[in-house]
Structure 1
Amino acid sequence: MRVTFDQIDITPTNPEYFSGYGRSEKSQGIHDALIISYLKIALEATNLFIFSLDLLNVNRSFSTKVEEKINELYPKNENIVLISAIHTHSGPAVFTLPSLDHAVNPELEEEVYRKLIQLLSNSCVSSEVSRIELVTGEIEGAYGNRNDPEAYGDKNFYRFDFFQEEKLVGTVVNLACHPTILKQDNLLFSADLFGSVRSDLENVLDCPVLMLNGASGDSSSRYYSKGNDFKEVERLATEISQQILNKGKRQTVEFSLSSHSIFKENIHYNPQADSFWVEKSKALSEEKNSAIEKVLATHLAKKMNPESHWVTLISQQLIFEQFVILTYSGEVTSAFAKNIRNRFDCPVIIVGYENDYVSYLVEEENYGKYFESYLTRLPKGAADRFIEKTIRVIG
């Protein structure tokens, strides 16, 4: 098995609008570079391509365009493509969002696509892998459930180390946290928490590190942060990276792919005909007193307009002999992550924001209780049914 790790800078050089927090101001500079991290794993007749973008999201048309180009470049192989975003809110507005309004510069998407394809064309030296080690553990004291600090939060981390003989040639890290330490008053481009964790790990490991965000729908550092500036980003990143480096159970694994499948489901939803949200909207219009109620009312108004829409939910299932990778095209909550992992007797790596963005996937039990429900484009129970189907596909 051969692997190729690479990175490329995608930081805009001109002022651009941001994709997070609905900011109206353009960027005023760069704090840290935004990149695409790239990993190609050659598995006999199958190529696995993983891209992690320092952006808020990607969309389906972009991912499809990339997939078509890869199939054109590698026509004799089965090509599996995972394109994910770290979900930084301090990156440029490259792709539109279904539930938020922000300006998008179409030239940025073309530039990101060009840079991504350049990674495929770069004459990077691939490495023959002699050993892969998987480290599994939990991060404590840095992030958790952002709605209720006593509720379950997905604190699992997964770290794949790829070795050529005894040399570490690259690492993949998966954890679940909104990288939103920086708030709307920040006007500098930044990869926020994930970028700082990556930088810390690369400085120690002396190899490229690819970061994948997981089931972070309701996970953040809200109850752990001591501030909202770059100093706090560095503090929490150090806490997380030290635990990734020094904690966890290590085992040698084989990257032997048993099966790969893609599950899609189209859901038509008219929130204006949903009595649940009609009543919520009425109550908020009558009781709009607090700041949070005003925010919820604003998001609910956007949710109720347009009248109806189609949502295409997508999940990929990669089954390896010793672990499973499940991807979802939205923001999966901690409760779903716990439920999914309870159904398997091996490590399950969950990747969110993958190949598209359909907003939040909220479990039925908490639907309507918290912020995520006011942005989700799905009716109550739809996410539960979809995720259950993605598990059953595996068998």
Structure 2
Amino acid sequence: MKVAWQKAQINPPLPTYMEGYVGGRKSQVIHDDIEAHVLIMANQEKYFVLISLDIILIDKAFGLQLRTRLSRESGIAVEQIAVIATHTHSGPQISTKLSSGTAVNQDYLNEIEDTVSKVFTDCLKSLTPVQVYCKEVSIGIFYSNRNQPDLPYNEKAQFVRFIDEQGATVVDLMNFNCHPTILKADNLEISADLVGSIRQHYRDNLMIVLGEAGDVSTRFKRQGEDFAEVDRVGRGIAERLTLGEWQALRPSGFDLKTIIHEVSYDPASDLFLNNAKAQLEKAVSQQPEARVLLDMVEERLAQKSGTLSFEASIFSLGSLVFVFFPSEIVFELGKILRDVHPNLILVAYTNDFRGYAVDQATYGKFGESLITDYPYGEADAFVKKIAEQIEVMMRD
């Protein structure tokens, strides 16, 4: 097996609008560099490409455009290229999904494409034979379930390490199962937030992807919401990441499966949405901040009926399985997938952004159920379909 990894800055031109909170925030300052990471894995003329960007989300059109360009430049199939967001709420605006009142800087998106293309081309030229190692590290003392601290969450960070023939680490790939935002809406400085801090304090060649972070955060464990707290938590997590025992992994052939889940849906007849609208209309008079959620519900109700389509992919690297998921996903749904396979890396925020994937038992209890494209029960059906396909791949 061969691997190559490189990174590059993708800092936006200033001033720039920010995306992650409502209100049309504008930044004049870059606090810390935001980055693009490119990881290429190759085995017997088969490839898989992982691209991580320090932005709030992957707009489907932008992600497909980038993947198509890299496919055209390399001959690697679009399906074998995954584009992922690290979900910083202090990054530049790259879509209108969360900041519809301000315009996207298309020139900046083009710059991101050009930068990723160059790094991608350099990686293709520098593929090197590697040995692969895995480990898990407990870091849950820094975060918890963010809706209720006594609810379950994944306290483990999964690691994959690629080591070249000289014994040097090419890159450590970390699967971080926590919402990575500490900085709040009053921050007006561009930052990679907690992901950037962990990378800074751990080592230079660390690539982070997010797992079941939809209902997991530092909310009940943090001591502030400023850059000092970002540094404290990032430093503490980085120190714990040196723990744990590395185990050798013998990758065999690559296998890739795409899973599509479709559902016919009429928002106007959605009982949950209509009930949520009625409740929020009553709440707005006493809680003006509820207006944001009410606007989201009304926007969903105004959409035409039709077919909703959700797409995920499964990539197996021998006994290691990656699941690439197009949403923020909550712990209970992530657990379904991890229970199916003992060595699984769940990668959320991939190739699209469909809001929160919330399990049926929790749907309607917390705010995540309002910020989603999934009707009641459909996230469960989608995840179970993925789990069934993993079981088929394991048998084969």
TM-score when scaled to structure 1? 0.92
What secondary structure is seen at the aligned counterpart in 1 of 2:142? coil
**Structure 1 residues 123 and 39, CA gap change in structure 2 (3 angstroms):** closer
The answer on whether the counterparts of 1:47 and 1:78 sit within 8 Å (CA) in structure 2 is no
How many residue pairs get aligned? The number is: 389
Matched, 1:65 2:65: yes
Describe the superposition over 1:226-284 as per-residue Cα deviations: whole angstroms up to 9, x where unpaired: 101000000000111111112x3421112323521111223343322212221221122
Whole-Å separation in 1 of the counterparts to 2:87 and 2:60: 16
**Structure 1 residues 200 and 309, CA gap change in structure 2 (3 angstroms):** farther
The residue aligned with 2:256 is: 260
The answer on whether the counterparts of 1:127 and 1:169 sit within 8 Å (CA) in structure 2 is no
Whole-Å separation in 2 of the counterparts to 1:54 and 1:293: 29
- State the AA in 1 paired with 2:328: E
In the TM superposition, what is the alpha-carbon distance from 1:378 to its structure 2 partner?
1.6
Matched, 1:251 2:252: no
The residue aligned with 1:272 is: 268
Alignment counterpart, residue 363 of structure 2, candidates 335, 356, 367: 367
Matched, 1:329 2:326: yes
Whole-Å separation in 2 of the counterparts to 1:61 and 1:287: 35
Matched, 1:172 2:173: yes
The residue aligned with 1:338 is: 335
The residue aligned with 1:144 is: 144
The residue aligned with 2:302 is: 305
Whole-Å separation in 1 of the counterparts to 2:52 and 2:214: 18
Whole-Å separation in 2 of the counterparts to 1:101 and 1:270: 26
The residue aligned with 2:44 is: 44
**Structure 1 residues 99 and 118, CA gap change in structure 2 (3 angstroms):** same
List gaps (5 residues or longer) in structure 1. none
Whole-Å separation in 1 of the counterparts to 2:197 and 2:293: 31
TM-score when scaled to structure 2? 0.92
In the TM superposition, what is the alpha-carbon distance from 1:4 to its structure 2 partner?
1.3
Whole-Å separation in 2 of the counterparts to 1:284 and 1:94: 29
The answer on whether the counterparts of 2:336 and 2:383 sit within 8 Å (CA) in structure 1 is no
Whole-Å separation in 1 of the counterparts to 2:222 and 2:274: 36
**Structure 1 residues 343 and 250, CA gap change in structure 2 (3 angstroms):** same
In the TM superposition, what is the alpha-carbon distance from 1:219 to its structure 2 partner?
1.2
**Structure 1 residues 353 and 171, CA gap change in structure 2 (3 angstroms):** same
- State the AA in 2 paired with 1:26: K
Q: Which runs of 4+ in 1 moved over 6 A?
A: 76-79
The answer on whether the counterparts of 1:46 and 1:77 sit within 8 Å (CA) in structure 2 is no
More displaced 10-residue stretch of structure 1: 316-325 or 101-110 = 101-110
In the TM superposition, what is the alpha-carbon distance from 1:302 to its structure 2 partner?
3.3
- State the AA in 2 paired with 1:181: I
The answer on whether the counterparts of 2:35 and 2:53 sit within 8 Å (CA) in structure 1 is yes
What secondary structure is seen at the aligned counterpart in 2 of 1:217? coil
What secondary structure is seen at the aligned counterpart in 1 of 2:23? coil
List gaps (5 residues or longer) in structure 2. none
Describe the superposition over 1:172-194 as per-residue Cα deviations: whole angstroms up to 9, x where unpaired: 11112212200111000000000
The residue aligned with 1:28 is: 28
Whole-Å separation in 2 of the counterparts to 1:121 and 1:320: 23
More displaced 10-residue stretch of structure 1: 65-74 or 216-225 = 65-74
**Structure 1 residues 226 and 291, CA gap change in structure 2 (3 angstroms):** farther
The answer on whether the counterparts of 1:154 and 1:176 sit within 8 Å (CA) in structure 2 is yes
The residue aligned with 1:183 is: 184
Instruction: Report the aligned-residue RMSD.
Output: 2.2
